[in-house]
Amino acid sequence: MTEVIEAIKRSAFRIQEAIAYDDTGYAENENASGDVQLKLDIKSDYIIQEELAKVKSVKAVASEEKETVDMLNEGGKYLIGYDPLDGSSLIDTNLSVGSIFGIYEDDFSGPNIKAAVYIVYGPRVEMVIATDTVELYRLDKNSEFKFIQTVHLHEKGKLNASGGTQAKWPSYHKAMIDTLFAEGYRLRYSGGMVPDLHQILVKGGGLFSYPGTLDKPEGKLRMVFEVFPFAFVYEKAGGKAVDGHRRLLELSPKDHHSTTPCFFGSNYEINKVLDVYSKIV
Ligand code: AFP
């Protein structure tokens, strides 16, 4: 596991340099999810696969940018599901973006995720590693990730990050989000999953939601690359992560690009989600 984390650190360092200085334009391809790829998406994917290929314990990798699972070392133990540059459509606006990694054994399912790591490329580069605990690191002047603190969610927070097109939200979802605002929650939503979930985590609590919508009943966010890693982080930080009814980490994807509605937060907000969604017939 240590070698995997070291490879992720090396990737993060190289990707942050690419974000800072490379061309931010589009490539001519689409990725496996049908999104137009930026040159930076392709480069970040390449960097990560190159670094992970050096690690003997990595058996195979699945990238959000690729259709297939790539076998790296037949005798390896870990399967790595990663989104090399999540939120890359924000690159031209100079908002924060991120890389997300789920470290699995046996298959890419919720119950089999063993650790999760994400990097936020913002004004500073930060990395969160979740194993039994959740630890925050920051890149320093010497290009090393320095430990900052262990992260814990409070019982209840103040922030509300609500994703998806509002006009397509089911009415019960809109009513629930309105109730939180009526209770005093403040809107914090950039459109980048990594900085939006990082903000809630570092500030101690709140709700991030990306529901099933009328046009996308299974939501937008991908289980293997985005949802399971953050579900693992939030649970280990003392919060909860559900699809409206069940723990996200109980789910198994049909294929490695499957999506799901998802809600991440501290206990108070997620209990509210479960209560509202339990009444839907
Ligand atoms: P991109 O990778 O296409 O920029 O999508 C970003 C993202 O997957 C995730 O980071 C956000 O939480 C979510 O999409 C935002 O989607 P909406 O704009 O539909 O709220």
Looking from the CA of residue 165, the nearest atom of ligand 1 is: 19
**Alpha-carbon gap, residue 206 to 214, rounded angstroms:** 25
Task: Compute, in angstroms, the gap from residue 192 CA to the centroid of ligand 1.
Answer: 6
> Where in 52-180 does DSSP place strands (E)?
58-63, 69-71, 78-86, 97-105, 113-121, 125-130, 134-139, 145-150, 159-162
Share of the chain above pLDDT 90, in %: 88
Assess whether the C-beta atom of 220 lies below 6 angstroms from ligand 1: yes
Distance of CA 256 to the CA centre of its chain: 15
For residues 147, 152, 156 and 160, what is the CA-based torsion angle, rounded to 10 degrees?
40
How much is the pLDDT for 38? 76
Sequence-distant (≥ 6) Cβ neighbours of residue 277 within 8 angstroms = 172, 244, 245
Assess whether the C-beta atom of 86 lies below 6 angstroms from ligand 1: yes
Over the stretch 228-275, which tens digit does the pLDDT of each residue have?
999 999 999 999 999 999 999 999 999 989 999 999 999 999 999 999
Looking from the CA of residue 89, the nearest atom of ligand 1 is: 4
What does pLDDT average to over the chain?
94
Task: Compute, in angstroms, the gap from residue 244 CA to the centroid of ligand 1.
Answer: 19
Looking from the CA of residue 194, the nearest atom of ligand 1 is: 10
Task: Compute, in angstroms, the gap from residue 89 CA to the centroid of ligand 1.
Answer: 8
Looking from the CA of residue 64, the nearest atom of ligand 1 is: 2
Assess whether the C-beta atom of 219 lies below 6 angstroms from ligand 1: no
Over the stretch 142-158, which tens digit does the pLDDT of each residue have?
999 999 999 999 999 99
Nearest CA to ligand 1 atom 15: 191
User: Is residue 32's pLDDT more than 90?
Assistant: no
Q: Which structural domains are found in the chain, ordered by start? A: 2-150 (3.30.540.10), 159-278 (3.40.190.80)
Token match 């119950």: residue? 111
Average pLDDT, integer, range 84-97: 93
Over the stretch 176-230, which tens digit does the pLDDT of each residue have?
999 999 999 999 999 999 999 999 999 999 999 999 999 999 999 999 999 999 9
User: Is residue 281's pLDDT more than 90?
Assistant: no
Average pLDDT, integer, range 8-34: 83
Side-chain-facing half-sphere of 204: CA atoms under 13 Å = 5
**What is the amino acid identity at position 111?**
P
